[in-house]
């Protein structure tokens, strides 16, 4: 077994944690770069944590020197400026470019990068255009790469699927934007981690749509989750603006940002759907049945996770 170091960004968070666990199971030496280096370490002393040091490129290069593979999950879901925390897509792009440059300077052999389905630099949606810029930068970097493009992730630490279930538990009706016919292909987070680790061992430059085996319309997804958790509700269509305002109200009550205008537009543009073959095998419906007693019992807050960097998910 090689003694080379494998670097995972965000190993104390969501997808990064699953990637790190699979690497450890293979006997790999793992370190993590994270903004949450003070968070409780789920791997104890098996994974050492270091700050990203985006403001100190020399230190970042030093941390990456000797690494074989960099697994990059770093990103932000939306733009936010608050008194205690601030994050923006353009800053995430700048920081990721610094990470790629440091990896090249440090002699990292390969980068496995988590992107998104249907990225485009021409997109008016900053999430998708930012991801496209990073893909182009990685492709042009000269480094060996695997770009994985998931749609929606699901798992115990998930936000979207969990909060759909939470709203079904809490409210007598569920509103969807427009007719709800736009599609999603959720992939189990550990299936994504498995794919990432497999690709880390390769050398061929690849771009893979990392989608699950089931395709849902958004309306159909809500209906299925309601059936599984025993909370079937009337599903009503609503104008985007009214749905966004309702989401803002729920977010205000929960101290979070539940949905953004960009996310609504991305959903309705069918950007979370591709016609590729499934890369994951775990079915959301089966996983939800196995976790029906806990799915959506508690609200999962994106902002809470980012504001309290010491609290575990």
Residue 299 has pLDDT above 90, yes or no: yes
178 plus 190 within the same structural domain: no
Q: What is the pLDDT of residues 60-97, one digit of tens each?
A: 999 999 999 999 999 998 888 877 777 899 999 999 99
What does pTM read for this prediction?
0.94
75-48-87 Cα angle (round to 5): 20
- Which helix or strand (DSSP H or E) is residue 86 part of? strand 86-87
Q: How far is Cα of residue 240 from the mean position of the Cα atoms in its chain?
A: 24
CB 214 within 8 A of CB 283: yes
- 271 in any annotated domain: yes
171 plus 113 within the same structural domain: no
Give the structural domain span for 116: 5-155+186-210
Q: How confident is the model at residue 1, as a pLDDT?
A: 37
CATH code, domain with 107: 3.40.50.720
CB 10 within 8 A of CB 32: yes
- 313 in any annotated domain: no
Residue with tokens 């007693």: 293
86 plus 202 within the same structural domain: yes
> Which letter does DSSP use for residue 230 in this model?
T
Mean of the pLDDT values across residues 287-311? 88
234 contact partners, CB below 8 Å, separation of at least 6: 172, 173, 174
Alpha carbon distance 84, 300 (integer Å): 19
Mean of the pLDDT values across residues 27-45? 89
177 plus 53 within the same structural domain: no
Q: How confident is the model at residue 38, as a pLDDT?
A: 79
Q: Quote the number of domains for the chain.
A: 2
197 plus 254 within the same structural domain: no
- 269 in any annotated domain: yes
CATH code, domain with 223: 3.90.25
18 plus 43 within the same structural domain: yes
77 plus 134 within the same structural domain: yes
- 312 in any annotated domain: no
């Amino acid at each position: 077994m090689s003694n080379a170091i494998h670097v995972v960004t965000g190993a104390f968070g969501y997808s990064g944690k699953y990637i790190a666990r699979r690497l450890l199971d293979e006997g790999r030496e793992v370190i993590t770069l994270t903004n949450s280096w003070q968070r409780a370490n789920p791997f104890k002393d098996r994974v050492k944590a270091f700050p990203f040091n985006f403001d100190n490129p020399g230190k970042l290069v030093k941390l990456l020197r000797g690494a074989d593979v960099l697994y990059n999950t770093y990103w932000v879901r939306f733009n936010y400026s608050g008194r205690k925390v601030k994050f923006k897509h353009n800053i995430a792009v700048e920081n990721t470019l610094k990470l790629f440059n440091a990896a090249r300077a440090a002699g990292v052999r390969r980068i496995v990068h988590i992107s998104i389905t249907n990225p485009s630099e021409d997109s008016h949606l900053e999430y998708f255009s930012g991801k496209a810029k990073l893909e182009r930068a990685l492709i042009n970097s000269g480094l060996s790469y695997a770009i994985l493009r998931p749609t929606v992730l699901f798992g115990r630490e998930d936000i979207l699927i969990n909060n759909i279930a939470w709203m079904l538990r809490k409210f007598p009706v569920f509103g969807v934007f427009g007719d709800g016919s736009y599609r999603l292909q959720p992939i189990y987070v550990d299936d994504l981690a498995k794919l990432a680790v497999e690709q880390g061992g390769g050398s061929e430059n690849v771009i893979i749509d990392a989608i699950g085996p089931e395709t849902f319309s958004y309306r159909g997804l809500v209906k299925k989750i309601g059936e599984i958790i025993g909370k079937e509700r009337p599903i009503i269509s609503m104008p985007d603006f009214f749905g966004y305002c309702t989401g803002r109200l729920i977010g205000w009550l929960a101290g979070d940002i539940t949905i953004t205008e960009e996310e609504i537009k991305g959903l309705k543009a069918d950007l979370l759907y591709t016609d590729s073959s499934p890369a994951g095998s775990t079915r959301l419906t089966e996983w939800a049945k196995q976790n029906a007693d806990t799915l959506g019992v508690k609200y999962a807050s994106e902002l809470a996770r980012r504001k309290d960097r010491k609290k575990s998910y």
